[in-house]
Amino acid sequence: MLSKRIIPCLDIRNGQTVKGINFVNIREVGDPVELGKRYSEQGADELVFLDITATHEGRKTFVELVKRIAFNLNIPFTVGGGISEIKDADALLAAGADKISINSSAIKNPKLIDDLALHFGSQFVVVAIDAKEENNRWEATIHGGRIPTGKELFSWAKEAENRGAGEILFTSMNHDGTKNGFANEALAKMSEMLSIPLIASGGAGTMKHFSDLFKFGKADAGLAASIFHFGEIAIPDLKHYLRIQGISIR
């Protein structure tokens, strides 16, 4: 069995790390390079940097930030936000990113997954899915969860895998920022369906939530933001706790 991963996520807006609840009420929490260095030193397995307000004009700024991150970090990191064609991904990978993450652009143009996987290799392509559950149906959303797409979560995740995604990053909009635990039932179902790694996001509040995620949600990695940003859980403590729980952790 592959060892589980702990992945801090840094949402970037105008060059600063920010955090909100259910994708709103956003506030700044610090410099992404300094935070990334701290998490690397604490034993994070990977990092995810998402440019949450990416626009064409902001692309150059983000590329420069990725160069700074790459220069200062010695662990793998994924970047996403506003990637809609091969040249966007090429610029970020050339700047030093290890993987790129696509979300809204993949839903609008599913062939983008095929193109990126063919051009760079599946191992570089993470498809992120922000989904919301209503009336026992999970629906993928875009634009920070504001716009429903009509795409059913599980069929879309499987399609993304078939098109060449190397990993799926699933965020439950119902759980995001609530600190009430991950969407383990949905995660377990998705994990059974997929043969590629599944990263879980949305709902981390306690160390037990991570233990439940790996035991019951069957995810390959747990991603969180505010609990790490605000010092509520330290990564070394979390890893020690998970090992005591009998979970294989990197």
User: What residues are annotated to the active site?
Assistant: 11, 130
- Cα–Cα distance, 167 to 217 (Å, whole number): 16
SS3 of 126-167: the string is EEEEEEEEECCEEEEEECCCCEEEEEEHHHHHHHHHHHCCCE
Task: Please tell me the distance from the alpha carbon of residue 114 to that of residue 162, in angstroms, as a whole number.
Answer: 9
Selection from 120, 143, 128, 119 nearest residue 55 by Cα: 143
DSSP, collapsed to helix, strand or coil, labels residue 180 as coil
Greatest alpha-carbon span in the chain: 48
